[in-house]
Amino acid sequence: MKDTIAALWGLQKLDLEIIEFDKRLGELPCKKQILLEKIREIEEQGKKKKEELISIEDEKNKLEKEIEEEANKIKTVESRLGFIRNPKEYQEVRKKVELAKKANKLREDEVLKKMEQIEAINRELETLIPKIEEETKKIYENLKIYEEEELKLKDDRDILLSRREVYISKIPDDIYKKYETIRAKSRGIGVSQAKNESCEGCFMNLPPQLYNLILKGDNLYNCPYCQRFLVYIPEPEEETQEE
């Protein structure tokens, strides 16, 4: 029975370790997601700037096309001016030409403005792109650390699981099943230490008779309050000497 008790306690300690591993493993996808989201946000900045640039370039090209078309129209109208005999009509056409020229001048000013904007955005991109590359590189490095951590945790967890099998093989089937049932209901803890005449699982005082039986270690007992298996473990110094 002493072997069963020792194996049961070993299994409980191992299962607590596995719970801790599961907790850390469970946190990693969320941590990775946050980093991926950050990368997406940073890259979005660059994408937006580039889109802004393309949109301004489109506007500039559109204006230049308009200027060219208008200039051609003006040229055609101007070439006909000499043939107009009616002075009133002549004046009207001339006025129209002047207005069209003015409108084209405004378009040219607009084009200059767009060129300045394009230049400014290109200058911004010159610093922004390397910054984005550097920042995303750093984040990808952190992501890699998480991925490596995840692999390491999974490997270590597998080792714990194989050690678990060794403990289980030393525990009678009915006791192991009961342990799992209690554990499922009691936040992963199926075995508690009996210490200072109380149960370390629920902190209730144990009947002295029961406590003495547990100290003897000839049989397995359950806490009358939380139902967990109770084991007596000697003080840590003795425990390490034994190991």
Instruction: Give contact residues for Zn ion (rule: CB under 5 A).
Output: 199, 201-202, 223, 225-226
- In the complex, the smallest distance separating the C-beta of residue 162 from Zn ion, rounded to whole angstroms, is 30
Task: Pick the closer one to Zn ion by CB: 104 or 198.
Answer: 198
| Residue placing its CB nearer to Zn ion in the complex, 221 or 225 | 225
Closest contact distance (angstroms) between CB of 198 and Zn ion is 8
Cβ proximity to Zn ion, 143 vs 199, nearer residue: 199
Residue 225 · residue 219 · CB < 8 Å: no
In terms of CB distance, is 104 or 192 closer to Zn ion? 192
Angle ∠(25,26,32) on CA atoms, nearest 5: 85
Q: Which is nearer to Zn ion, 21 or 225 (CB)?
A: 225
Residue 185 CB, nearest distance to Zn ion (Å)? 12
Instruction: Write down the least CB distance from residue 179 to Zn ion, Å.
Output: 14
What is the nearest approach in angstroms of Zn ion to the Cβ of residue 200? 8
